[in-house]
Amino acid sequence: MVETDVVVVSLGSVRNTEWLTGSGLGSGPRGIACDAGCRAFDFRGIVTDDVFVAGDVARSPHALFGYQFLSLEHWGNAVAQAETAAHNMICRGADRRPHLWMPAFWSSMFGVNIKSVGVPPMGEELMITQGSLAERRFAGVYGYKGRIVAAVTFDNTRWLEFYQAQIERGAPFPVEFPTMDRRPENRQPVPAGFPDPSLPTHGPMVTLSGYSPADQQLVFHPARH
């Protein structure tokens, strides 16, 4: 027996794509690649027109996040993506719509309300725009290639909608707008310090993959005829 004050359990998920082996689809340990309209890619990277994907198992390009193939592991995303997939199944061409869900997450830990929007692991740099880390009450904004791509709040929820609007309009980073409760020590961005996104990540919400042409994480199994 081990005596301890706190136990942190870190749970992940595994995509059950083994049954698709030999189907000819672009499936693998990271899920099934599809276009923004939820149409699955085959193993050659050519989009199918009659196989649709939604939920954790789907990886699709997101226009707001550099067209990276993202798996967004949230209940809300699974429901919204399934609705888009169903819509596109019964619509033709111009009536089809893309799935462009804004990743959002919340949790409450040790009495602290934590929320985020966007894709934090994509961030290269971080700016604390309100409050301070020391006080455990703050808003932080992540930047990637000169744009805001995510925001996180600790006990500062009411500002999150504002930051989401900044992400949606591709606002510049470092942050140019004035914010309430901005501290002098937080005028400059600091490195975000996330691991290389081309390597398998343990991030609990979002798997970044497929960005680099050299990132060949998928195992392709051509269909047998």
Ligand X SMILES: Cc1cc2nc3c(=O)[nH]c(=O)nc-3n(C[C@H](O)[C@H](O)[C@H](O)COP(=O)(O)OP(=O)(O)OC[C@H]3O[C@@H](n4cnc5c(N)ncnc54)[C@H](O)[C@@H]3O)c2cc1C
Interface ranges with ligand X (CB under 6 A): 11, 13, 16, 19, 55-56, 73-76, 78
Nearer residue to ligand X within complex by CB, 13 or 132: 13
In the complex, least distance from residue 143 CB atom to ligand X, rounded to whole angstroms: 25
Is residue 41 within 8 Å of 25, Cβ to Cβ? yes
Nearer residue to ligand X within complex by CB, 129 or 207: 207
Phi-psi region of 161 (alpha: psi -120 to 50; beta: other; left: phi over 0): alpha
In the complex, least distance from residue 78 CB atom to ligand X, rounded to whole angstroms: 4
The residue length of the chain stands at: 225
Nearer residue to ligand X within complex by CB, 15 or 147: 15
Nearer residue to ligand X within complex by CB, 99 or 147: 99
In the complex, least distance from residue 133 CB atom to ligand X, rounded to whole angstroms: 24
Q: Encode burial over 28-40: b for 16+ CB neighbours within 10 A, e otherwise.
A: bebbbbbbbbbbb
Q: Which of 194, 101, 88 is nearest to 143 (CA)?
A: 194
In the complex, least distance from residue 23 CB atom to ligand X, rounded to whole angstroms: 12
Nearer residue to ligand X within complex by CB, 9 or 90: 9
In the complex, least distance from residue 185 CB atom to ligand X, rounded to whole angstroms: 33
Q: Which of 39, 5, 8, 7 is nearest to 25 (CA)?
A: 39
DSSP for 42-68 reads BTTSPEEEEEE--STTEEEEEGGGTTE
